[in-house]
Amino acid sequence: MWISLRIAADRDQAEPLSDALLAAGALAVSTEDRDAGTAAEEAQFGEPGEVESRAWRRNWVVALLPDGTDVPDLLDRVGLTHAAEYVVETVAEQDWVRLTQAQFDPIRITEGLWVVPSWHAAPHPEAVNIELDPGLAFGTGSHPTTRLCLRWLAGHVRGSETVLDYGCGSGILAIAAAKLGAAQVVGIDIDPQAVTAARDNARRNRVQAGFCLPDDAPPLRVDILVANILTNPLKALAPLLAGRVRPGGQIVLSGILDAQTDEVIGAYAPWFDLALAGVEEGWALLAGTRRQGTATG
């Protein structure tokens, strides 16, 4: 038996609290978004030149403790008062890897496109199956924004395109584009762990796709650029992303709440006439074609 201790923590508390719990004897510590599954859910992101936060605005710091741990004493040792918000649960002994894997089943994106965790057999071997091990990176296919982007790619990649996945996370969108027939695929992420996970997933799927940090990116102007981030970074990155799309090329943006679409459409208006291309569970997908004769910078 073990004890699971879930402690509420703000963004600036999560990392030092995690370190303190490990130093105090926790067997493992993870951080979860307290707003997961709601409209306030946050994808972790950052922008070139910024220090990326490794926590959400509102977090659960989850510690696995040995059975018999004196939780009030532990909280005192890590500097928390009796007023701290926490939940204690008893956890039966079990195979932790299998428990984690059981949370991810194959996901049907379209009739011919599936996301299959690496530990599962493909339900439909004849389909385009993206075999995925997300590792520490965002992008399992379970989030509505990822599904929206995958459906768009399944409906628009015809073969021979150049594709850039900006903020690639696990590499799922870039790998999908390659499996759907794109000729050249590049994924960019500011997180080195995401780049590593994406490269591993590309090898697992036996596709040619390059993944790199922003400073190492090749100077491509692509036929399709897809960015599944969040509204604020998408707005800030508008000139940079527009400059990556050739005239006549397409841009696909998600990570946008339905109520925020006008903000993003306005940010990209100098180069694109963006339109709503899909909505799922309150999240929106925008897509548009780069106009001829529009400059960036």
Report the CATH number at residue 229.
Answer: 3.40.50.150
Same domain, 85 and 125: no
Judge whether 98 lies within some domain.
no
- Pair 158, 238 in one domain: yes
Three-state DSSP state, 182 = coil
- Report the domain count for the chain: 2
Kindly state whether residue 136 falls inside one of the protein's structural domains. Answer: yes
Residue 33 has a pLDDT of: 87
End-of-domain residue from the set 34, 65, 93? 93
Q: What is the pLDDT of residue 102?
A: 54
φ and ψ of 260, to 5 deg: -105, 5
Other Cβ atoms within 10 Å of 101 Cβ, number: 15
User: Would you say residue 113 lies in a domain?
Assistant: yes
| Residue 179 CB neighbour total at 10 angstroms | 21
Residues 198 and 280 in one domain: yes
> Which tens digit of pLDDT belongs to each residue from 220-231?
999 999 999 888
* CATH code of the domain containing 64: 3.30.70
Residues 124 and 39 reside in one and the same domain: no
Residue 186 has pLDDT above 50, yes or no: yes
Token pair for 278: 């899909």
Q: Specify which residues 64 forms β-bridges with.
A: 4, 28
Mean per-residue pLDDT for 59-77? 89
**Residues 143 and 205 reside in one and the same domain:** yes
Is there a single domain that holds both residue 41 and residue 65? yes
Sheet holding 113-117, edge to edge: 107-110, 113-117, 128-132
Predicted pLDDT of residue 54: 54
109 lies in the same domain as 84: no
Q: Is there a single domain that holds both residue 180 and residue 226?
A: yes
Q: Which domain holds residue 12?
A: 2-93
Q: How far apart are CA 225 and CA 184, in angstroms?
A: 12
Phi-psi region of 111 (alpha: psi -120 to 50; beta: other; left: phi over 0): alpha
Is the overall model pTM greater than 0.75, yes or no? no
Mean pLDDT of all residues in the chain?
Answer: 85
Query: Looking at the domain assignment, is residue 256 inside a domain?
Result: yes
What pLDDT shows up at residue 97?
47
Beta carbons within 8 Å of 263's beta carbon, 6+ residues apart: 231, 235
Q: How many CB atoms lie within 10 A of CB 238?
A: 21
Cβ partners under 8 Å of residue 288, min gap 6: 250, 251, 268, 272, 273, 274, 275
Say if residue 196 is in the same domain as residue 162: yes
Query: Does 147 share its domain with 27?
Result: no
What are the pLDDT digits (tens) for 73-97?
A: 899 888 887 678 999 988 765 544 4
Answer yes or no: is pLDDT of 174 > 70.
Answer: yes
The verdict on 70 and 110 lying in the same domain is no
Asked if pLDDT for residue 160 goes beyond 70, the answer is: yes
Per the domain annotation, does 151 fall within a domain?
yes
